[in-house]
Amino acid sequence: MKIVVKIKKGLSNRIIVQFPYHPVLLQKIKSVPDYQWEPDNKYWSVPDDTATFQQLVLLFQQFSPEIDPALFKEQRRYANDKKRETSLKCAAEFPTEFMDTLNLKRYSRNTIRTYKKQFISFLRYYSGTAPNDICEEQIRQYLLYLVNEKKVSQSYQNLAINAIKFYYEQVLGRPTKTYYLQRPKRENKLPSVLSEEDVTRLLKTINNLKHRCIIYLAYSSGLRLSEIVNLRISDIDLNRKLILVKAGKGKKDRISLLSETLVKYLVEYHEKYRPRVWLFEGQDGGKYSKRSVQMIFHKALAKSKISMKASMHTLRHSFATHLLERGTDIRYIQELLGHSNLKTTVIYTHVSKNTVDKIKSPLDNLDLE
């Protein structure tokens, strides 16, 4: 006979627990603090709080209890409230000089937002402890928590380290040696690149004029997503067929290519949409959102039935690789991409088809006929 245990939301901040008489179940329910037997209704009741609810789930899990969904929803709301309460407390304790120094050093908005988010997470971990009182060993323990428990990526861990280092070194002026942090090794991943045939298939799926201009521009000029949405009309030089990329990554200005094929579409697009300030504007006249651009790309990717996992940044990788395969000097590609170090650009030689084609497999040298 199957034993049915029911756990439901009750009145007056109580949880109802119902089950047929069984000595084991009776022992379990009596181990819960402040339990009560309700003889009129023939059920047990316990306090409605997170600790008690979790205890009930563990006590009766072997009986696969029927749990009221409202209880799960309430526990999630309680957990979110506690997280929000902790976040507000951390925000109240957040050192104002952290933001002041970031702004004075003219860090980008993305970097400021990322550093602030990372440092608030750090403060939340040591909630109740003033940031100036957190020692080197505590910082190391937090990083171990991120790696071992949160299972964060190497890039996420590096962001956490950068934010923490910024506060203690740049804001408080402490020397690095007082809290040396072992950085993770970077993964040597090759960039994902679409073939020219795949790019052709993808571009042919886009019929909307505005969408076409955006995706064509990403591939033909090798721009980052943030650079595309930040382009102004004045940054496009149709006569010289050049694009001025202002304050790209690292706050560097650079020049990139403007495709002759794209020019005719841009002229048609400008006449139809009449953008006022930004090259690509949303319905409210502001910048076109990054999310909208990503949705355009992924819709085109699905429509073209390309199986490879790709993103908007894949078009930038493909731009560089295809230029290299067609004989463009790698130093010119470096300038077009805005790379400070040639080593960053050299990675495209590892994915260039021409590089691989020049190498003959040793198997092909054998006379196997």
Q: What is the DSSP string of 67-123?
A: E-HHHHHHHHHHHHHHHHHHHHHHHHHS-HHHHHHHHHTT--HHHHHHHHHHHHHHH
Tell whether the torsion through CA atoms of 262, 268, 271 and 274 is positive or negative.
negative
Q: Are 174 and 168 in contact (CB under 8 A)?
A: yes
Q: Does the annotation count 224 as an active-site position?
A: yes
Burial of residue 55 (CB within 10 Å: 0-12, 13-18, 19+) is middle
Q: Are 337 and 250 in contact (CB under 8 A)?
A: no
Q: Does the annotation count 249 as an active-site position?
A: yes
Instruction: Choose the catalytic residue: 211, 287, 322, 339.
Output: 339
Instruction: Choose the catalytic residue: 201, 249, 254, 303.
Output: 249
Report d(CA 248, CA 225) in Å as an integer: 11
Tokens 């009129």 found at:
40
Q: Does the annotation count 339 as an active-site position?
A: yes
Q: Are 11 and 68 in contact (CB under 8 A)?
A: no
Instruction: Choose the catalytic residue: 28, 212, 224, 317.
Output: 224
* Nearest residue to 192 via CA among 315, 104, 349: 315
Instruction: Choose the catalytic residue: 124, 174, 313, 353.
Output: 313
Tally helices (H) and strands (E) across the chain: 16, 8
Which structure tokens are listed for 9? 């939301």
Q: Does the annotation count 313 as an active-site position?
A: yes
Instruction: Choose the catalytic residue: 28, 212, 287, 316.
Output: 316
Where b means 16+ CB within 10 Å and e means fewer, 124-136 reads ebbeeeebeebee
Report d(CA 61, CA 180) in Å as an integer: 45
Q: Does the annotation count 21 as an active-site position?
A: no
Q: Which of the 8 DSSP states describes residue 222?
A: -
* Alpha-carbon distances, residue 259 vs 42, 213, 360 (angstroms): 79, 11, 35
CB atoms within 10 A of CB 293: 20
Task: Please tell me the chain's helix, strand, coil percentages from 3-state DSSP, rounded to the nearest 5.
Answer: 55, 10, 35
Which structure tokens are listed for 130? 């003033």
Please identify every residue annotated as catalytic.
224, 249, 313, 316, 339, 348
